[in-house]
């Protein structure tokens, strides 16, 4: 499996800036947080602009968190921008502005969960860690377990299987990113290209006849008419404004007053929006003290 996947990756890997020879640990960390639940095509231009503006943690930490949210644009889940800003501040305070290399130090940063700590330690510092993102979990579910999709949440069995397959330290990081790339490009969720897969000869799911998923229904997350859509419209107005926005302007974004107020209250509670005098709102200028840890 190792030889097959690594050989495939050597000729099919996408040329992404956070994989380049001159990548920095900070660039890897930024990419990993941006790529959570967001396609590469949307992330790459934002990542390039972000690194040009804030090439190191200290430059981001010195700026307002609202500017991080503004630069985040339409990547979605803007709390990730706050988490990244909080992590930059902690890196400056605890590690002299340098992204720490150890898993334990990484996971201790605000907004950094198990996956991100393992990915940064592996891809930025060449360490041996299991890196289980959605793509990797799907590949292992099919190749090893013969299932179309992995469980909704990562299980201990998945972690053990991934660790058992992890090669020696010298090639472990490349193996992890190669399996991730295989899931993104070939072993996709909806239309896997099994004939192009380097693991087709040993894939348990393929040999079982590619049985359909027999677990709970996998439903696409709704968007139209949800609070998420309302929050997105409110954030779009605030991102584009140069200063505080009158409440009346925000009221124009959505006709349902109850839903709109609920969404606005949620943004304030999450630290993404600050109320100011005169019934106005703005992106935050101070770092929220309740920055949550990603999981």
**pLDDT at residue 290, as a whole number:** 42
HEC-encoded secondary structure of the chain: CHHHHHHHHHHHCCCCHHHCCCCCHHHHHHHHHHCCCCCHHHHHHHHHHHHHHCCCHHHHHCCCHHHHHHHHCCCCCCHHHHHHHHHHHHHHHHHCCCCCCCHHHHHCCCCCCHHHHHHHHHHCCCCCCCCCCHHHHHHHHHHHHCCCCCCCCCCHHHHHHHHHHCCCCCCHHHHHHHHHHHHHHCCCCCCCCHHHCCCCCCCHHHHCCCCCCCCCCCCCCCCCCCHHHHHHHHHHHHHHCCCCEEHHHHHCCCCCHHHHHHHHHHHHHCCCCEEECCCEEECCCCCCCCCCCCC
Q: For residue 289, what pLDDT is reported?
A: 55
Residue 168 among the catalytic residues: no
Residue of 32, 158, 181, 274 marked catalytic: 32
Q: Which residues of the chain have pLDDT under 50?
A: 290-295
Could you tell me the domains of the chain? 8-123 (1.10.340.30), 134-207 (1.10.1670.10), 227-282 (1.10.10)
């Amino acid at each position: 499996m190792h030889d097959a996947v690594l050989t495939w990756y050597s000729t099919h890997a996408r040329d992404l800036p956070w994989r380049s020879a001159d990548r920095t640990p900070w660039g890897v960390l930024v990419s990993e947080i941006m790529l959570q639940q967001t396609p590469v095509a949307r992330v790459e231009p934002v990542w390039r602009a972000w690194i040009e503006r804030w090439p190191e943690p200290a430059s981001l930490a010195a700026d307002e968190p609202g500017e991080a949210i503004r630069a985040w644009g339409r990547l979605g889940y803007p709390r990730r921008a706050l988490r990244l800003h909080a992590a930059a501040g902690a890196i400056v305070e605890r590690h002299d502005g340098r992204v720490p290399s150890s898993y334990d130090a990484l996971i201790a940063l605000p907004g950094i969960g198990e996956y991100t700590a393992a990915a940064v330690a592996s891809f930025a510092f060449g360490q041996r860690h299991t890196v289980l993102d959605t793509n990797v979990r799907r590949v292992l579910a099919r190749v090893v377990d013969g299932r179309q999709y992995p469980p909704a949440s990562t299980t201990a069995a998945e972690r053990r299987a991934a660790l058992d397959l992890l090669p020696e330290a010298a090639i472990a990081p490349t193996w992890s990113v190669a399996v991730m790339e295989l899931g993104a490009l070939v072993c996709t969720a909806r239309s896997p290209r099994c004939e192009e897969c380097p693991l087709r000869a040993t894939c348990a799911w393929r040999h079982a006849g590619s049985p359909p998923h027999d677990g709970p229904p996998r439903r696409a997350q709704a968007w139209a008419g949800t609070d998420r859509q309302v929050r997105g419209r409110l954030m779009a107005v605030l991102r584009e404004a140069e200063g505080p926005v009158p409440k009346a302007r925000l009221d124009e974004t959505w006709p349902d007053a109850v839903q709109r107020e609920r969404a606005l209250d949620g943004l304030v509670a999450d630290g993404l929006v600050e109320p100011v005098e005169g019934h106005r709102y703005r992106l935050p200028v101070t770092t929220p003290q309740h920055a949550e840890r990603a999981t």
